[in-house]
Chain A
Amino acid sequence: MRRRFMSAVAAACVAAAVSFPALADQARTTPARNAGVSRQAAGGRPAAGSMPRTPWGDPDLQGVWNDATSTPLARPGGVSDKQVLTDEEAEEFQRNLAHNLTRDRRDGGPEVDVNRAYNEHWMDARRLAITSDHRTSLIVDPPDGRIPPLVPLSPERQRARAARADAAARFAAGLPDNPEEMSLPVRCIIRTDSPPYLPTIYNNDFQIFQSPGYVAIAPEMIHSARIIPLDGRPHIGPTLHQWLGDSRGRWDGNTLVVETANFRTDEGVIFQDADPATYRITERFTRVDARTIRYEFTVEDPHTWTRPWTAMIPWTRIDPGEQMYEYACHEDNYDIVHLLQGARIRERKGETVPKRNRER
């Protein structure tokens, strides 16, 4: 339980990243200062009649969008139950983040230093900012901004998680046994393209295309697209399983509602390792102004969480000034060889996985 919380905090903190002085560039909408995090948090609904539409009448979501933010997924533990920071607090947070992630850190000795690697040149420019509504978590429901408690896992799932933790410990020590026990992102199978979409440290870009009867969402990593039919056709058959699942969309007013099913059952595919048999995910895309899409997802699984939960992340338009680029991955994934080859060489020299890694 504690480990999950820590990883939730860590996961939340990954969304927090320091960026360059692109803060000035970021268009700010009026934050929702009043109490109660609402679904209108990212600037509210557009005025009636102002929604841009495609020539065939669908709300227009076309463009290149970016979802980088330093707002954590879950409100960190130990923080008061504020749903929204004041302007002052938001400024302080962003200033400290900018300082901590752009300064030249030499503390911690070589062991820590070797892990630091790249500076902010390599990170998403927008990750220094929190969402313009100054929320303290991307999760908007439950109101405490945290992932709901877990239900007790079956012994089988507990064993699977323990096995995965062992594999992760081997990987962290640089001694992976084989390719398939490494994570899906490291293997270049899926990265940010599997829903729900969450901000990460770089390449947080999505390009949306539309045609009559379809919306296609192409995340930058890894060069795939979800082509979502809007004609009410059923999902593909239940024996077909896909890494990105199978999506169906419909318009609910000006909101694109997407239901995705038919996920593969491999570890790391289903969000937070929920149970593939009972996991449900619904996403909502609403264009709230010329530069913003409000992206919301609700996930539920009675075999994993005690209740459904919802997060909201604003997407900012970046084209034409910026573009999404091809993200090939497997084609030049030298790291897989370095890690495996390196592991074999170091094993021959007698290296083993440190015991303390296993306890995490």
Chain B
Amino acid sequence: MHTRLSFTAAVLGALLAPAAAPLLAHHAFNAEFDANRPVKFRGTVTRMDWVNPHAWIHISVKKPDGTTEEWMIEAGTPNTLFRRGLTKQSLQPGMEVLVDGYQSKDGSLRANGRDLTLPSGETLFLGASGTGAPYDAPPKKKG
């Protein structure tokens, strides 16, 4: 006799499994970006491309040797951000940001931003606590 799952467990279990294939066949980031090439740097926004299917944040990064590198950070669809009230004014050239992500597998200066922290402390990716997420700890179970 197989165990009856709760609806919650069944849906969440499948949703959160790494193998879940999105309905939209959203491309697998691990196909393009390399888990073995984590990147972390502080940079200055030079340009924000508010485009679909992916917005791109252009960042100028000063290296220890004084040279700069121009990176592109891949982000999501801007339309969703627009409906949350963001506009092209929200991420402006000159802003300093913290980026934590994974570099492109082909070695180019492109990264899948895992955490992007704005000067306000707000994060645009799966970030540290304080993102505005309703829960930082698991919800209390009832009864």
Q: Which residues of A contact B (CB under 8 A)?
A: 6-7, 9-16, 20-21, 70, 72, 76-80, 82, 85, 88-89, 92-93, 95-100, 102-105, 108-125, 136, 168, 171-175, 183, 185-186, 188, 191-192, 198, 200-203, 220, 322-323, 325, 327-329, 331-335, 338-339, 341-342, 345-346, 360
* Stretch among B40-48, B62-70, B104-112 lining the A interface: B104-112
Interface string of B1-36 (1 = CB under 8 A from A): 011111110111011101111111111111111111
Tell me whether A342 and B54 are in contact (CB under 8 A): no
A70→B12 CA distance, assembly (Å): 10
Main secondary structure on B side of the interface with A: loop
Tell me whether B51 and A328 are in contact (CB under 8 A): yes
Which of A92, A113, A342, A360 contacts B105, CB < 8 Å? A342
The answer to whether A103 and B128 touch (CB under 8 A), given A335-B53, A346-B106, is no
Which of A70, A96, A110 contacts B35, CB < 8 Å? A110
B119 at interface, CB cutoff 8 A: no
Supplied contacts A14-B22, A97-B11, A121-B81, 9 more A-B pairs, CB within 8 Å: A14-B15, A96-B8, A115-B30, A119-B125, A119-B131, A125-B80, A185-B24, A201-B26, A325-B83
Tell me whether B32 and A174 are in contact (CB under 8 A): yes
Q: Which residues of B contact A (CB under 8 A)?
A: 2-8, 10-12, 14-16, 18-36, 38, 49, 51-54, 56, 74-77, 79-84, 102, 104-107, 110, 112-114, 123-129, 131-136, 138-139, 142
The answer to whether A88 and B142 touch (CB under 8 A), given A114-B33, A327-B52, is yes
Tell me whether B20 and A14 are in contact (CB under 8 A): yes
**Residue of A20, A72, A121 with most partner-chain B CB within 10 A:** A121
Given the complex, which residues of A lie within 8 Å of B2, measured CB to CB?
Answer: 78
User: Nearest-CB distance from A315 to chain B (Å)?
Assistant: 16
Tell me whether B126 and A104 are in contact (CB under 8 A): yes
Given the complex, which residues of B lie within 8 Å of A335, measured CB to CB?
Answer: 27, 32, 53-54
The 3 closest A-B pairs by CB, nearest first: A174-B31, A122-B76, A102-B133
A118→B118 CA distance, assembly (Å): 15
Given the complex, which residues of B lie within 8 Å of A12, measured CB to CB?
Answer: 11, 14
Given the complex, which residues of B lie within 8 Å of A136, measured CB to CB?
Answer: 7
Given the complex, which residues of B lie within 8 Å of A192, measured CB to CB?
Answer: 24
Given the complex, which residues of B lie within 8 Å of A82, measured CB to CB?
Answer: 7
User: Nearest-CB distance from A7 to chain B (Å)?
Assistant: 6
A338→B95 CA distance, assembly (Å): 27
User: Nearest-CB distance from A346 to chain B (Å)?
Assistant: 6
